[in-house]
Every structure is written in structure tokens, then in C-alpha cells.
């Protein structure tokens, strides 16, 4: 087994589509399929279920994905650490993102950061909150966009944006015209959930809300990617509880409605280990705080938490270090090509 097998497996597992995975990896589809077949033969376990119209992870595949991501993250971290020993830390920034990243301000933050600082190469990883905490503390990852969890003395955490949880429904759903929904309104409705291992902080907040409400839901679909949650909801397979910012990405296909009593808010933060400072990290924090402020101003100024969404309240933030919006070049003045982060939300071909 080679590292490329793991990288190919991760791409197919995240895309759930061989052609898209091949495009992402810049390889043709037949060799990719062959590599996955070799991997399955090596581990002696079937990792994917396939048909002509869909690709799904098996239970063994989901477990293998978690460990494969950890291996790749450790290897990439070792490479980064080695490069830093020769003073190259300013040209790279390793960033971890919550799986919900594509539906929030994160793509905008990273894209604008790359435009302003083309001498910094961004290495982006999608990790759950447990993996993020481990990676940041071990300094395998420089910074992490993650939901705020319990306080941790080993981390410096800056609050960015509060995301209220809301009910996502297909625009054709019988409850879509309602402004508010109570837990009792949703009892008996088909429910789409995200595997708790994918986003533990989010999943805990949702589960705690239903437990407090004393409602037992009709869980029909459990998936392992946020975009699959949205696609199932849009297709009319059921409702889901999601960060309210999802509405901005899929507003023509779904609606988001407030819950009564209100659901909790999740705060998006930028976390790094104490002492993990560099011009690149400071510049990214500065960009994140500026865009977060702009988004809060937009919501407040236009009254646009939407008539159907809870308002986003301003979380606490810490001032960024002086000169954080200015990056130094390395000693030779060398400019490193930026790795742009593009927000791509893929639709599943068939359910």
C-alpha cells in the first residue's frame, strides 16, 4: 500500500463520484478505479458500494476514511515540519476546516487571503472537531476553522461568526410556508442526519436540542457529508437541522425556518496553538475577522437574518496583532504560487 492509494481513496470517498475524483486528482478515471480496486484487495475489505448511478462508502469504508485522513495529515505535517527547519515557514500555511466549511464564510476568507497574499501556499484539510483539536495541539496544522467547544488552555481561539441552527426543508415541503416550526410539528416527518463522527460538536448540539424537547424523530437517512444532507433535503427526502448559512448556498432549492423554542447557535472560530504565530497566521486571522465583521454588518444593516432565520449575534473577538494584514516575503524575495480555495458543492447524481 502506498500513500497515493490513500489519497485516491480519500478523494473518491469525499466526492462519491469517480469522475469528479479523477478530475480533482488530475488523473484519468480508469487508473483511479484500478488503484481503488488494488486498495480493496490489499485491505481485504470492500470500501465502496457501487452502481452505474451512485457510489457509497461501506461501514468499513467510513472507518477506513477516518484513519486514512489521519495518516495523510501526519505525513503532510512531517513534510511541513521538515521544510520549516530550513526557514521556509512563511511560504506555507496549513489550514483545517469543519466539514460544513463550504456553506459558511470560509471559502470567501481563504480566497481573498490568497488574492492578497500570493506568496503563501495554502494547504487545506477537512477534519472533524476532534481531529482538528489533535492536529492543532500537535502543530500538524497551523490553524483550524472549527466550531467553538469547551475551553482549552492549550489553544488560542478567536470567535468569528455565530450560526443559528435552523430547519432545512425542500421548497416543496408541506411546512415550507411556515415561519416558525416547533419540535412537535416535525415529529413523524422523515429526518436526514449527518453521521455524528463527521461533525461531533454540531451533532451534539442538535441531539441535545431534540432530547430537551422530548421528541423522538423518524430518522430515515444518515449520511457522511454535509452536501449529501442538503441534496437529500432538496430532493424532498426529509428535513434536516443545519447552520442557517446553508440557505445562502441553496436558497432556490431549500428554505430554512426558525425553531420555537430556539435551537442553539454554533460559533465559528479560528483556533491555533499558543505561541503559533507567524505573519501568515496573523494575516489570515485579520482577514477572517474583517470578513466576519462585514457579514455581521450586512445582516444588521439590511435586517437580513431573513424573516425565516435567527439573527447572527456578534461573538467575542480578540484584536489581531499589529501589521497582521501585511506579509513579509522570504529572505530571497521569492514569491510562492498561491493555492486558491474554491467553494464547490457537489450534487449527488442519484439517491
pLDDT in tens, 48-74: 888 878 888 888 888 888 888 878 877
Q: 3-state SS string over the chain?
A: CCHHHHHHHHHHHHHCCHHHHHHHHCCCHHHHHHHHHHHHHHHCCCCEEECCCCEEECHHHHHHHHHHHHHHHHHHHHHHHHHHCCCCHHHEEEEEECCCHHHCCHHHHHHHHHHHCCCCEEEEEECCHHHHHHHHHCCCCCEEEEECCCCCCCEEEEEEEEEEEEEEEECCCCCCCCCEECHHHHCCCEEEEECCCCCHHHHHHHHHHHHHHCCCCEEEEEECCHHHHHHHHHCCCCEEEEECCHHHHCCCCEEEEEECCCCCEEEEEEEEECCCCCHHHHHHHHHHHHHHHHHHHHHHHHCCCCCCCCCCCCCCCCCCCCCCCCCCCCCCCCCCCCCCCCCCCCCCCCC
Residues 323-331: what's their mean pLDDT? Answer: 35
CATH fold label, 1-86: Arc Repressor Mutant, subunit A (1.10.10)
What's the pTM?
0.61
Least confident of 195-209, 217-231, 319-333: 319-333
What is the average pLDDT score of the chain?
78
Pick the CATH number of 163-265 from 1.10.3720.10, 3.40.50.300, 3.40.50.720, 3.40.190.290: 3.40.190.290
**pLDDT surpasses 90 at 121:** no
Beta carbons of 191 and 319 less than 8 angstroms apart: no
Q: Name the pLDDT band for 323 (thresholds 50, 70, 90).
A: very low
Does 351 score more than 70 pLDDT? no
Residue 19's pLDDT band, with cuts at 50, 70 and 90, is: confident
Q: Domain locations in the chain?
A: 1-86, 163-265
Distance spanning both ends of the chain, measured CA to CA: 32
Rounded-to-integer distance, Cα 101 and Cα 59, Å:
24
Mean pLDDT of 126-147: 86
Examine the pLDDT at 303 and tell me if it is beyond 60.
Answer: no
pLDDT value at residue 95:
93
In whole angstroms, what is the distance from residue 254 CA to residue 246 CA?
A: 9
Percentage of the chain beyond pLDDT 70 is 79
Greatest mean pLDDT among 40-54, 63-77, 334-348 lies in: 40-54
pLDDT band for 349, please (50, 70, 90 cuts): very low
pLDDT in tens, 258-276: 999 998 889 999 998 887 7
Q: Omega before 261 cis (within 30°)? A: yes
pLDDT digits (tens, 9 = 90+) for 162-194: 888 999 999 999 999 998 999 999 988 999 999
Of 183 and 321, more confident: 183
Distance CA 144, CA 121 (A): 16
Residue-level pLDDT at 54: 85
Whether the per-residue pLDDT at 339 is higher than 70: the answer is no
Looking only at the bridges linking them, the beta strands covering 92-97 and 48-50 are unpaired
Write down the pLDDT at residue 83: 63
HSE toward the beta carbon, residue 313, CA cutoff 13 A = 8
Determine the pLDDT at residue 318. Answer: 39
Asked if 192 and 320 touch (Cβ cutoff 8 Å), the reply is no
Residue pointed to by grid coordinates 495523510? 72
- The pLDDT of residue 77 is 66
Region 145-169 average pLDDT:
86
251 pLDDT band, cuts 50/70/90, is low
318 C-beta neighbours (distance < 10 Å), count = 12
Amino acid at each position: 500500500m502506498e500513500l497515493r492509494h490513500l489519497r485516491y481513496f480519500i478523494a473518491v470517498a469525499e466526492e462519491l463520484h469517480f469522475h469528479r475524483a479523477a478530475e480533482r486528482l488530475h488523473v484519468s478515471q480508469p487508473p483511479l478505479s484500478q488503484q481503488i480496486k488494488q486498495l480493496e484487495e490489499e485491505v481485504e475489505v470492500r470500501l465502496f458500494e457501487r452502481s452505474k448511478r451512485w457510489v457509497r462508502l461501506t461501514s468499513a469504508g467510513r472507518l477506513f476514511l477516518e484513519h486514512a485522513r489521519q495518516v495523510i495529515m501526519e505525513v503532510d505535517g512531517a513534510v511541513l515540519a521538515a521544510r520549516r527547519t530550513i526557514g521556509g515557514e512563511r511560504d506555507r500555511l496549513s489550514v483545517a476546516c469543519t466539514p460544513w466549511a463550504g456553506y459558511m464564510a470560509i471559502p470567501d476568507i481563504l480566497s481573498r487571503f490568497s488574492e492578497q497574499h500570493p506568496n503563501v501556499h495554502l494547504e487545506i484539510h477537512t477534519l472533524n472537531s476532534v481531529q482538528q483539536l489533535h492536529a492543532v495541539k500537535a502543530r500538524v496544522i497551523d490553524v483550524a476553522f472549527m466550531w467553538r467547544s469547551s475551553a482549552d488552555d492549550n489553544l488560542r481561539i478567536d470567535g468569528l461568526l455565530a450560526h443559528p441552527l435552523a430547519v432545512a426543508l425542500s421548497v416543496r415541503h408541506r411546512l415550507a410556508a411556515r415561519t416558525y416550526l416547533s419540535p412537535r410539528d416535525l415529529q413523524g416527518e422523515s429526518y436526514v442526519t449527518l453521521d455524528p463522527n463527521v461533525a461531533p460538536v454540531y451533532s451534539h448540539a442538535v441531539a441535545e436540542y431534540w432530547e430537551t424537547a422530548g421528541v423522538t424523530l423518524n430518522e430515515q437517512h444518515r449520511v457522511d457529508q454535509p452536501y449529501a444532507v442538503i441534496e437529500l433535503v432538496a430532493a424532498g427526502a426529509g428535513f434536516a437541522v443545519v447552520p442557517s448559512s446553508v440557505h445562502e448556498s441553496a436558497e432556490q432549492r431549500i428554505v430554512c425556518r426558525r425553531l420555537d423554542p430556539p435551537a442553539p447557535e454554533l460559533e465559528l472560530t479560528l483556533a491555533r496553538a499558543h505561541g503559533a504565530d507567524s505573519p501568515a497566521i496573523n494575516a489570515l486571522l485579520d482577514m477572517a475577522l474583517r470578513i466576519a465583521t462585514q457579514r455581521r454588518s450586512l445582516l444588521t444593516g439590511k435586517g437580513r437574518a431573513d424573516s425565516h432565520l435567527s439573527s447572527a449575534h456578534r461573538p467575542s473577538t480578540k484584536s489581531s496583532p499589529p501589521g497582521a494584514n501585511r506579509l513579509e516575503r522570504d529572505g530571497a524575495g521569492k514569491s510562492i504560487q498561491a493555492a486558491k480555495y474554491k467553494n464547490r458543492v457537489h450534487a449527488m447524481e442519484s439517491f
